[in-house]
Structure 1
């Protein structure tokens, strides 16, 4: 088991690291670590954590936190966190605490130093220092003893740093230590031992003048800030440098400087440590950290370094993850650690030659004359790194050309590259795609910025904020920085501002952090077509879409290269192959917001053209499916002439990318529900009334068949809200809405819509439309118990439909009259209506209507006491409905079958049939039908004194 306190507090059960985020739990753990391996009593923990005035529940809380710590350590039985007579003791041979390992390593390193074993000392000290991931206890030591431990560890770290620098100086590595010394002096400007080491390093690097300048800088700093002079030891060193009397190094390594005109005699690379500090608030990403660490496992026998490309969309935290892992594994590469910014997303990415020069100057010093040709510089770098184990972090690469010349020629080295592109042209590279954070990691990051208490107080708003930030680290850091700089703001205020899509990207900007600016950089290297496709994708309102939609947006059949370009740039991701065989791609939510705003800036003409092609394409596919289902009663009566009906539409999906006609059905509707709904909304937003109505009208019968009632309602309402909608189109939509509300059991609203449709059809001189509206009103009357009224409406409608010569609709109305007669107990009259319906359905090959008539014939036979015959009719009907994937009619058949099976005294199968029907009705929000099914089940399960009359009997 392992524990880390040199940075964010984390524990591991041997499989993964888990943060200790709860403040009190972290405080108790800090006290245990500070006392380890000695035991500390519960009272001692309470005093250390809560001070002199603890709450009454402090002891109980301590026991609770001890249990949590044990669970985090995978130590439920207390083998590691033991309870002794003196209290709780943390440690033993089973626990590895980084603070203890650090102290032991530093002690060994200093002993080796004192013995004159400088190389061994340096290895031990640097290995120990590498355990630091930030300030102990993440800069917030939680108790008195933890504060004392933090001070001791911090001082010991500074001592270890100074000893490691001295070991490098004694080994003659003067040039390589200068930059590291300057970095430490910037953090500790009054620590004179570091200044003295810097002066020695500069002097022995042949930079005596700079050493004197640095001494003068130290003198001024001490005088201005402390009113003091340098110590006698520092003044003595200054005199020695001034008079060139500084003694040589304690060892006699090979000379550290050569004549600048002899590059062939350049020294072996010194020990360079150029990795910057990690982000103090880095958190989460356990899976990605483990994956990247594993990918860096190389093969020392290879003649090429291990290369891993961390790629992903802007703002996903690629650089932070790469640096975090690089610092964690750096001890594997003892000779050098480099970090280069390749500026790939800037307006001027760094050239390979410039990068080579930077690397060589880091290694050899700025005084050496380097070869003039690119190839010679690359060869020199390779020769310098050939026998060394080095780690390179190449940040923000734009292409493989920047990376290839820098690769070390051995398998003991590793290179981590970050890029918004996959860099597929980089041979042999391994790749890790980065996406947004998990919701818990995103919350943790926000908490580290603004404080856990603030998050706990407004948890729901915090969750909404990270969701609206798309779970992207960059966006969350910006949101956190805003909240941090506005401590009086409730989180609700920022949440409300982010919920406004029109200003979300503007809100995600503070100081140098700006999501929009980061996204702008990604578009600079794209072709015009790729930028256009990216922008127009924002119009769709979709997070993912099939590949052929990019062709519709660009009005071209040649769109593969554009899609590949967007993927390579990290702006689009593959979402796999869907259930009907289409390639699908997705775009991050914040990227879509950005794309939509850019699309709107292109002007209405371009947006309307792209929208029209998209809507036409969806209408083409939907109409192909609709025409394969001739039995549907709710076909649009007055369809506008649109792309789907034209012989030569302006744009159609390529055959290889669109689903086969055989795949168009229930699965396609389920797959594309969001796409179809957003296509109708897109048409309405862009003022494409004809196209919006055409798609909604074609979808109506499909939504009816596949029980997609909410989308049916939403599409029709969206188009009804459009201005300048033709009256006949409005009436068709109102008729559809009437049917939706019938299914939903809202009979009054259904009647209102159907009455409006009837009047509009009558005013517009459309007798067929009026007849179908009356058919809907007949259903309303039937649901209200007005069977005679319903029968008269259906007979009147049937006369009009027969005159119009529309057999499919005639079948529906004949069937409806037969059903009404059965409900009224007029079975002798009903039988010929149903028999004629079945015969006509078979002649016209309308399997669906035949099944509906068989279901009603089953109800007739049950009413006449022929339960066995009723069961056979219903079984045939159910089989047809399942073959046609018509779940709604299938559920109605199951409900009727329940009644038949009950009549046959098969209670178990009757309940099973009714339960399956109730589950369908519940799934689709058909509450009245669900309740009817449940009521029948209750009748079967609870015997009554006599048969209870159910609503099903009435209907």
Structure 2
């Protein structure tokens, strides 16, 4: 007989039949006896826990035991022993014993590294649970203690099972259940750690960090405790990994790869000896699929960039930065580096295969960009797909033409079997169909999908009518293109009208869409979308629908022919606007990390929505899209990618803001100015935009987009005109009593610079501290990081290096959470400077990590700062050769136009002067000190004090004064 007390108490005979146990008192009695099989439970304990607070007599217990014996029969003996009873059964007969044995074995297998066996054992153990342990007894000390112990063991087994699953790569399946468990057990750190790891493995770095923050807050509020060392260590590991964004992966494929094995192998071999390989062939030949398959056996790191959605070749560098997961600027918004320079820096020492898919419409711009990158980045390899070669030196070509007869038949048969199980067909008929389709893989796939509703003989007959089966010689690319287009058009004609409507409207999506969003924008139901996927008009991968570019081009033509471009464009823009509008207020709160990925999901579709709105003269829609997305663009450092569209909108608007949209107009000016060559636009529209912003934010009431205030101040701070900086300062400072809390915090932050300008260092420190506290109260990280950075600089300026390091640590955590690599590198250099001043070895570690991060971020200025720090260490260690080389490398990379780089430029120049002085070359030393002093004088009359605040040690300032 078997017994179960992990849930409702039950007993089963060996044949599986359930034993009727009777009423609740009898089941409770059996439960107590089974908690510890073979152990005596006193009559008093049985009476007390079966009927808490009642007056169950010893006689009544004896009566219930007698009835229980009758129910169980000879299979289990309940014996009288002294003053109590015990049940005599084998431990394995009780589910609790089996559970504990299996859970222990599963944990041992996990400890031994056998995750697969661990999963099997732990799942078997957990399957024994049918509900709460000891469910028949709700009160009583013995039962309560036993139930708590069993529940703890169950949670431990669950944690072990998830640990094993994560080791086997089953992250996605684990996330929903882990979320639910963390919700039920918010103080259980191991569950939180497992959820963080699962989320991170699925690309949800921000979500993983949110889980840590929520757990940390709960522990503090409910237990007054900090997270464990293990959870803190995991948090740091995730932050470190967050600072190294993963390149865009190739799109997921749900079908087998058929018929291109030889071309695949040839391309792999070409890439072993050539740094640029272009896969050339007609549309529909399978160039993209070959490129998708190639990385599986190729380079260690791959970045896949789809160029088909791009309409302007000038956006190529931004597209590559985005695909690499890199920001276009730091949190200060003041880097003047063009995107191409950042790309070169980021890729200069990186071993990477860059896949550029569908280059033909931007062939000249792509060729120029690839030539520059290959010349500057020796470890970079490029695989391009195009209908024509790039035409640059060193290019190797891999031609992809129609499939051979046998390969075409295999592809058709494979795809046909997917839609028609058990299909048998005359091989000659299949060959005839593939010949009619010119062996083009896309045409074959679209045609095979028709077998869901057509017989193969009917399919062949229709193709005869459509294409003709006359004997063909060698086909030209143009003829094959007509064949493919005819097949697409034929497949299109066979779609139902709801399917055609959904397909043509889907053409407005650039980055694909989830089923829910596609249904909304296309005015279609889920069944229609699934049918389009079945017929190969849509592809499905990673939970999203996407459309092959060949089909998307055809669908876009049908959209125009149907006169639905504005209808679909408006629906698409409405969806994107809703997402960015909804997210915007959350980006200034503690939920910032939760909402940043939400907007990132529509990042590729934002430019398309703005482009439609500009073309359709929907100025309010375009302005609202840009303004609502602006906080995300600035926080994520991707504003430059939208700058061309903002500039196009400004050309439509002119210099007069539309009525009621002055604030949106000001945001548009800021975004347009963030792109390469944006300075003329800034000067042209600045005054009108500033007036509009002042009207929107008068001080006593709030405008709509508080982040515009900080962006306006940061943009103006980098300008050369003192009047421009002053007016921006006054505009933002006026928000000190604004009802919008984030705007008030910005005003506190900006007022700190006013105190600095008058030399009131204590006043500045009070202002930055108050700003940081107000940003912190909101849980917002961008503003808090900026305020902490300024406070750290002030602490360093007064010689309090312990405080400077502590503040920098806090700023680092926030910058890392935002993925701001450039700012992380800057902060590491700042901390390294404090360590170096105390002679601590950690300085070298910080400088080295800063150099690595700066290179990965493509930030030449941050890299220059790290090199300058390393040069300082070399100089203090007496290695003059290394010091001179590192200082010189730093100066080569520093942008002299960037105000934030001034301190490092001065320090590098002064360092070179020291090198010359130590070598006894006093004339060169004097000359270099004068150059450094002249550079420092760019700050103005208060140069020494300001340079100290920028991080220059007193010895350097003194040397500059001498110079």
> Does TM-score exceed 0.5, indicating one fold?
no
Query: Which of the pair is proportionally richer in helix?
Result: 2
Superposition TM-score, scaled by structure 1 size: 0.42
How high is the TM-score relative to the length of structure 2? 0.42
